[in-house]
Structure 1
């Protein structure tokens, strides 16, 4: 065999052998490492800059929201998250946290898989927030004056005013939704927790109970009109009767 022919065959054999090593003989190249799909982990310091930003909705997916939570956080426990998430607005950014990585990761992934964006997860969860010395809230509602509510209605894009009375058609605050107290239990799970809710009625007993039911269901913030419907009328603000606006 001529040397040239031999060398040609050797080159071919080496090429085949090398191809075999690439496909089978050696370990495969590791796949590139990527971060979590659909959401971004952020520090407590970064979260602190977000929680007071209007487009941000902070979501606590734990069952112990009532023992303390990030300022402004709503409660959507993992057990009910799949049901509640379908009623959320998609024009917000969402910051998810819990008390364990497993729960907060599941919560953030649920948001991302349902098409929400952007979605953030608090790295280190509730403990990272408290270790950083940031304040926490306990669930409660806030009494507001008719003047404050009137201002809020013009300045807060996510505000929903709720009349829990049975005499809504006889007169109500313009734009208010009517959800009678006896219907709140079945209606609350279908409301958008990305909203801010102001509750009123015609008596303190009913409006207080309504506001407390919103708080107990994990809504935040919740306001109650101090003095109820009469305070609004006494302040000279317009009302609606049926579907007609009157002054």
Structure 2
């Protein structure tokens, strides 16, 4: 994995005005996600890259940081210079006590 060379932030370092890009699968998103996050599953990124801002802070998140690191690398290779990986993903987000919402009627959680 090439995460060591990628720009990253921790859950408590995410700027309040950042565009939070959640690349997890729909069931993971429904179980729990950050308020205001934008859901774009990893496999849809190539076809939907025009939806990802090229300015401002973009923080990419998955469950633990692996998939999001791949997406950050992919976007950087395609000209994005404003993307960072969320270290530890939603697991660390939840552990840091950051707010979460669910879409499935259950308490918000990371699956």
Q: Structure 1 length normalisation: TM-score?
A: 0.38
Match for 1:183 among 44, 49, 59?
Answer: 44
Partner of 1:147: 12
Q: Which residue of 1 aligns with 2:68?
A: 207
RMSD: 2.1
Q: Is the 8 A contact 1:196 1:220 kept in 2?
A: no
Matched, 1:163 2:22: yes
* Residues 141 and 222, structure 1, Cα contact 8 Å, conserved in 2: no
Q: Is the 8 A contact 1:162 1:178 kept in 2?
A: yes
Picking from 91, 96, 107, the partner of 1:230 is 91
Distance 1:191 1:238, change over 3 A: closer
SS of structure 1 residue aligned to 2:48: helix
Number of matched residues?
Answer: 101
- Give CA-to-partner distance per residue, 1:7-45, whole Å, 9 cap, x none: xxxxxxxxxxxxxxxxxxxxxxxxxxxxxxxxxxxxxxx
Instruction: Call closer, same or farther: CA 1:188–1:233 in 2, change over 3 Å.
Output: same
- The answer to whether the 8 Å contact 2:64/2:92 transfers is no
- For 1:86-126, what per-residue CA distance to the aligned partner results, in whole angstroms no more than 9, with x for missing partners? xxxxxxxxxxxxxxxxxxxxxxxxxxxxxxxxxxxxxxxxx
Once the two structures are TM-superposed, the CA of residue 237 in structure 1 deviates from its matched residue by 1.3
Paired with 1:195 and 1:175, the residues of 2 have a C-alpha distance of 15
Between Structure 1 and Structure 2, whose CA radius of gyration is higher?
1
Secondary structure at 2:45's aligned position in 1?
helix
Whole-Å separation in 2 of the counterparts to 1:191 and 1:226: 20
Match of 1:219 in 2: 80
Q: Structure 1 stretches of 5 or more lacking a match?
A: 1-139
What pairs up with 1:1-247 in 2 under 5 angstroms? 141-149=6-14, 152-153=15-16, 156=17, 159-166=18-25, 167-242=28-103
Contact 1:141/1:215, CA 8 A, preserved across alignment:
no
Q: Does the 8 Å CA contact 2:24/2:39 hold for their aligned counterparts?
A: yes
Match of 1:47 in 2: none
